[in-house]
Chains A and B, each alone.
Chain A
Amino acid sequence: MEVHVAAHHEAPTGFIRKYVFSMDHKVIGIQYLSLAMAAVTVGMILSVLMRLRLAWPTEKWPMLAHIFPEGFAGGPMTPEFYLAMLTMHGTIMVFFVLTTAPLSGFGNYFLPIQVGARDMAFPFMNMMSFWVTFVSFVVMLMALFAVGGAPIAGWTAYTPLSAVGVIGGPGLGTGQTLWIISIAIFCAGSLLTALNFLTTVLNLRARGMSLMRMPLTSWAWFTTAILALLAFPVLLAGGVLLLLDRVGGTSFFIPAGLVISDRHLTNSGGSPLLWQHLFWFFGHPEVYIAILPGMGVTSHILSTFSRKPVFAYKAMVGAIFAIGFISYVVWGHHMFMSGMSPYTSMAFSITTMAVGVPSAIKTFNWLATLWKGQIRFTCAMLFSLGFVSLFVTGGVTGMLLAQPALDIFLHDTYFVVAHFHIIMGVAAIFGIFAGMYYWFPKMFGRLMHEGWGKVHFWFTLVGVYSIFMPMHFLGIEGHPRRYAQLTEFKYLLHLQPLHVFISIAAFVTITAQVIFFFNFFWSLKKGKPAGPNPWESTSLEWSTPSPPPFDNFGPVEPVVHHGPYEYSVPGAAKDYIMQTDPAAEEVRP
């Protein structure tokens, strides 16, 4: 059956409408990915600066002092500048990389195609969401270079420090205000994205694309969009109140009797913990906003490259939803040390450990998907396997930290830094890399270089474990996080060589990312032509040319006849059956 249709908006011809203010979800996806690449570069530079300070606390860096005269006043980096780097590194990475790339970047490009839509439900709003996010990033960069310094209150902007203004320290004036404004704008952009994703999945699926035929990537983006839709408004509300505390003279978060630098504040009655509750009610789902798309990509890629259906597809869908749901009732585990009632912390501890159940379902299903598969070790596959490894490593420490008794000791130590970097930072980055190697040929029509990709993979895998595994030991020894220098404490002195090791590992790993960037830009021009389906995958994006035409599918309306993971079906002519393949018989019920 062929149904001829007209795309709901015509392909633009001018440069501005085509590439800048584009309403095409594919262009917008690439715009988001470019934004994330710019952001990750900034974020990595900030982490290099921090690692220099931590490994060689007294060393002077004349060249850096030349670039940041205030930050290196008196020789080594000032502790305040270190805090500013820490704050901006966390903020940029969490919002502009880990939220932007996996959800808004790949999701924008591939969600509509995977469900058989010609574009997002609201293309104009989609364009708006990118440019709003772009403005947010620009404002965040302004905070980085603000007069008086960048904010120092951490990516969590804990009150009252973030609320009291410039008397609290450098960077808490203009820098912190810009930070809050940037985050508020970011919330708006993310909400628009979430609306589009959800409506597209609910209303624009192609004929035959029932919900239970959607690829797990689409399920992951769908669930993530629900999380974003319900979590970002809470951060927005908190941000509005925080901004008013700073500029409107209110006391939502500033308690009475606060004395800072010999000045007695006139505020009264506010609750710093109220901010923590609002922030973490957003903040914990945010962690899953970063990681769920990686889970979806991993499921998709493991199945594709082991030439087997995803093991227990329905359980995988259920597990994604369970993780998403539970993520709303665990926020208190970030606040075990805030003096909450032991009964409350017990409840949060139990809900937190409950996340382990769907997580284990996913992990074992991934392993079962690999079991006896005909595994093809492509770069995408390697990064997905790396994702599974990191997910387990980072997840296990999550179970430890979920217990209040242990958390009292480990809280605010490097153990936590190790945990969240592995689970939400590096694992999510591995998901992004896996997606990039997998979808690059679809987006640009050429394959990335597999050899260089593998070099990149091994450097990165060994590198990130070398960086973050030793941090567990730092934490167990009681090394607090967030301090630029703790060399005055005897019990930490013997750990200094570990800091040197971590820093060197970090520099090597970051340098290895040059291989990726080189491979990326080289492959754009010189990569092998990919053809429509280089990986012999089944989902809808592989049924169209690479890159797909403006309306994704040309004149023919896609009709879906199969589930997403019909690999190695007995009796079938090939070892995969495209979702759109009408001729092949469906063997599985």
Chain B
Amino acid sequence: MTLIVELPARPGRGDSSPSVRTSTSLMGMKLALAGIGMLFTAFTSAYVVRHALDPDWHAIRMPRILVANTLALVISSLSLEVYRRSREERLWLVLAQGMGVLFVAGQVAAWRQLLAHGVYLSNNPHAAFFYVLTAAHGLHILGGLFALGGVTLVAEARRTRWLEVASLYWHFMGALWLYLLYLLFGMN
């Protein structure tokens, strides 16, 4: 008779080393992204169904500034990734943060342009979805900017964890924006 003690490779709770904490936080973030993904999946299904009920659907033209915004977000993601991998040049992080702020400013400008042209939430469903989706995404982006700011502000010991988790979130938000852009203006 042998004493079978099957121990998993995973360290126990007592091992609260930085790497374990990082993997725990990353797991939490991946799950959060699954939830956020469901939120936008639900919006998508509503969009598709509502689009199919055609009579009052008037597609709005894409505000030109969205091209610049998209570019800013892509540059932001890329420079964040460069910083995450090298961890040497702080400038990359600052660039990522700056481009993120620029994106938000650009989105606000896009809203203002549309409003100036008389495109309101209540005009037609396409406009409504544009405002809803950009607002929902924008709120998540603001959360991301908060996290990116945290990378600069937190103590050195926690920086790696912040950076890893914030990067994952930020890249997801970038990809989500590309998807939303396609949903709103690429599918017509």
Contact = CB atoms under 8 A, between A and B. Distances in A.
Instruction: State yes or no: do A and B come from one complex.
Output: yes
Interface of A: 3-6, 8, 116-118, 121-122, 191, 194-196, 198-199, 202-210, 229-234, 236-238, 240-241, 244, 248-252, 256, 268-271, 274, 277-278, 281, 557-559, 561, 582, 585-587
B24 A203 contact: yes
Contact of A230 (B28, B34, B56, B122): B34
Contact of A234 (B2, B11, B38): B38
B56 A207 contact: no
Contact of B46 (A231, A237, A251): A237
Interface stretch (B12-20, B88-96, B109-117): B12-20
Nearest to B121: A248
A116 B13 contact: yes
A557 B35 contact: no
Contacts of B38: 229-231, 233-234
Given A202-B27, A233-B38, A278 B46 contact: yes
Interface string B26-51: 01100110111011111101100110
Nearest to A231: B38
Nearest to A237: B42
20 contacts: A3-B12, A199-B24, A199-B27, A205-B10, A207-B7, A208-B7, A229-B31, A233-B42, A237-B39, A237-B40, A240-B132, A241-B46, A249-B121, A250-B122, A251-B122, A268-B56, A271-B49, A271-B50, A278-B45, A587-B1
A266 to B, nearest CB: 9
Interface of B: 1-8, 10-16, 20, 23-24, 27-28, 31-32, 34-36, 38-43, 45-46, 49-50, 53, 55-57, 120-122, 125, 128, 132, 136
A233 B31 contact: no
Contact of B28 (A6, A122, A206, A270): A122
A459 B176 CA distance: 55
Given A210-B6, A271-B49, A236 B39 contact: yes
Looking at chain B's contact residues, the main secondary structure is helix
Nearest to B6: A210
A341 to B, nearest CB: 15
A208 B28 contact: no
Contacts of B7: 207-208, 559
B35 A244 contact: no
B9 to A, nearest CB: 10
Contact of A208 (B8, B16, B40): B8
B55 A268 contact: yes
A116 B55 contact: no
A208 B6 contact: yes
A60 B104 CA distance: 60
Contacts of A269: 50, 53, 55-57, 125
A203 B36 contact: no
A441 to B, nearest CB: 25
A229 B35 contact: yes
B42 A234 contact: yes
B25 to A, nearest CB: 8
A184 to B, nearest CB: 11
Task: Across the A-B interface, give the 4 residue pairs with the lowest CB-CB distance, nearest first.
Answer: A249-B122, A5-B14, A237-B42, A269-B56
